[in-house]
Structure 1
Amino acid sequence: MKFKALVVSQPEKKVFVRSIETRSLDELPTGDLIVKVHYSSLNYKDALSATGNPGVTREFPHTPGIDAAGEVVSCTEGSFQPGDPVIVTSYDLGMETDGGFGQLIRVPASWALKLPKGLSLKESMMYGTAGLTAGLSVDQLIANGVTPDSGPILVTGATGGVGSLTVAILAKLGYQVTAVTGKLDEESYLKRLGAQQVLSREAFMTGSDRPMLKTTWGGVVDCVGGEMLATAIKSTRYDGVVTCCGLVASPELPINVFPFILRGVRLIGIDSAEAPMARRQQVWTKLADEWKLADLDRMVEEVALEQLEEKIKQMLAGELKRRVLVSLIEG
């Protein structure tokens, strides 16, 4: 069985080459589930894998793509039937296991979940791992008692994939959202998504060197890490909840314990890569139903596999303004 895939090769040390190649099923890793991929999406981790970042991928040749949605070809384990529509995200997909930038994937059946009713395969990849991460973050706010009456909710890195989807979901649920971004030219876009206030990164960080700041936020979804996360924690209201899922600014957290022991602020880490399947299913069901966004189309740009090279470069340069949906359907 032949299929088309983006393949990253390493012809010599520290040199990585990307090309669209025809591969065979025999070249894929072992697994009990084969999926014909209809759609994937481009994530920052994919861009790192595509450029040979050893923190993501060490073995080459390799096909990136931590997201995939498509139809089951076969399942020897018995959990799925041929033709079943499924979603496969994270775990090791697209890291050391050939991923969703190929028209076929072979993975453990335990990595897949059946597409929930109310969601198409295309819509599922408009969300992708970014939507799952946003959903997990919102779910933790709600599970820990943060309601629209708790006060404004801060979303950092708001123009990114996770941030923009979080803004839209929270706004749909009736929360008052403040978005922080380094791209103020995207203010109108964030307000269309539902943000009531948009702050520049510089304005938000004013006075951030103080040990405690004026209480403002009922909850926070941080997609950045570093000093921005620390500033958000310092300005969260008593008994507020802060979720964190990113480290693009820094993996370090320069903060003291005051917000935690004097205001009872709770910091919750969000991990979409190894989240238990039951939790994934719960969030995907909500994304397909009461959390479903009516305007997903305006949040994404659809490209073919052959157009990914340009988008990978734009992502690494910080120039992408929308999520990238990757179509692997031919014809």
Structure 2
Amino acid sequence: MNLTHRPRRLRRDGIRSLVSEVDLSASDLIAPVFVDATTDDREPIPSMPGHERVPVDEAVARVEEIRDTGVEAVVVFGIPESKDARGSRAWAADGVVQRAVRAITDETDAYVITDVCMCEYTDHGHCGVVEENAAEDPTLTVKNDETLDLLTKTAVSHAEAGADMVAPSSMTDGMVGAIREGLDGAGYPDVPLMSYAAKYESAFYGPFRDAADGAPAFGDRRHYQMDPANAREATREVELDVKQGADVLMVKPALPYLDVVSAVRREFDHPVAAYNVSGEYAMLHAAAEKGWLDLEAVAHESLLSIKRAGADLILTYFAEDVAQEL
């Protein structure tokens, strides 16, 4: 037998790493940080092993822990001291994210990204101002255009606090254009915008809603987040955000939507981010606790698959663990 082509020749130690097509590094990763204005102590998040809510005065220490692993960027999520129907603490100058960001940017070299959404700040848990009687009528939803002004005020307040990048995640039509105009008008034309350009109404968000106290009090988010059945629609959504001035394009979740990550990578020249969400993190932890999977191995393989699909940046709860391994 004459086998001219033997791919196994390039799988031996020494050559194997030289011909690897994808490289994963700590600088590809973004670590989430949950800052809680309602607590004075760090509080573990039961559904997300290894993660905590931290009080504002612990935000710097938490970010320094992340930086020590080699991860350079963080995204800050806030749990406010109070909530109301319009989520007014989202853009307050003394809000939880604003206070944390000022401290983090003053005392660390981390690259600070902020989540721009309303669900953690509204008493109904939806990503904007809801229509009247929405609690009784499931056909009613968020008031899109009225929400744009609130998202813009929130993004500008984050930039004023020192955020290096803002990341609107509400899937509000026109949010990128409104926020870009608001940032430019307020004197922040150099603050980039990472849009959650294709964010699906996914069942994988459960642990995050525990962590950020942002579950809807009624109904769901199917009227403004994308249908998991739709891939072509993602291209249309992303294209709209590109036209409105998005600098980075996010796909969320990651693992169930690698086809979408790949399509966005092919169709657009912008940097592509993917959010390896809380449910993806939790299910691997659960399987590892049962002894069914090697957590370190599957965490690394999962992130490698996201990078291979085309993501330049990965927002992941595995950031610290994988960075230390790398």
Q: Greater share of helix residues, 1 or 2?
A: 2
Q: Greater share of strand residues, 1 or 2?
A: 1
Q: TM-score range with shorter-chain normalisation? A: under 0.3
TM-score by length of structure 1 reads 0.27
